[in-house]
Amino acid sequence: MKKLVLAASLVVLTACSAPQKEQISVIPTASLSTSNLVENKTYTLSSKDVRAAQYVALVDSGRSNIEPIHAQQNMRITLENAIAQQFESQGYRASVNSENSVVLEIQEALVTVKHTIMENQMDGKVTLEVTAETPQGKLVKTFKGTAVRTGTLSASNDDISMVLNDVINLVLADISNDQELQNYMKERF
């Protein structure tokens, strides 16, 4: 019995000391409006993550080893909260029973990193689709952002996080400033 308890304790301790997978922080900054575009127009917000894989970075060290890195935060919830803040700053009010809806679809959010001992190159790509729907119809728009960054030495997780957050912030700003989306929501919500 003592051997069994000892073996079980050893397995638990080994599992606790196993290295944790690396993760990067995804903290987008909502692009807030300085004045209301509308007053008390309601909408229901939902989101879905349709990416084929849930990692946000692929690191290629050149040794036939490509390592995926995941986000610390849930991407869908993080981006949904940022979009909600943006619409709130424009005067829209989120509701659970509005006949107007906005659906955010995350199609791509990835930084591809190639690095050697001397340099690195990071390619960031983010694609978000926004669907604004009313009983009279719907508007579907796709927003894309890309960035390329090179640096010396290997790329750190902070560097990767900065590139991903910068591209997400650019796409969020595009959504916030898109005149077609603003006009559609203003006129029909």
Measured distance CA(111)–CA(67) in Å, rounded = 12
Q: What is the pLDDT of residues 17-31, one digit of tens each?
A: 444 567 999 999 999
Query: Which residue, 90, 97, 89, is CA-closest to 45?
Result: 97
Query: Which residue, 180, 56, 179, is CA-closest to 125?
Result: 56
Q: Which residue has better confidence, 18 or 44?
A: 44
Q: What's this model's pTM, rounded to 2 decimal places?
A: 0.84
Measured distance CA(138)–CA(105) in Å, rounded = 15
Q: What is the pLDDT of residues 94-107, one digit of tens each?
A: 999 999 999 999 99
Contacts with 176 (C-beta within 8 Å, 6 or more apart), sequence order? 30, 31, 32, 33, 86, 90
For the beta carbon of residue 128, count every other beta carbon within 10 angstroms.
23
Strand partners, 120: 115, 151
Q: Which domains does the chain have, with CATH numbers?
A: 22-188 (3.40.50.10610)
- At position 8, the amino acid (one-letter code) is A
Q: What is the pLDDT of residues 161-175, one digit of tens each?
A: 999 999 999 999 999
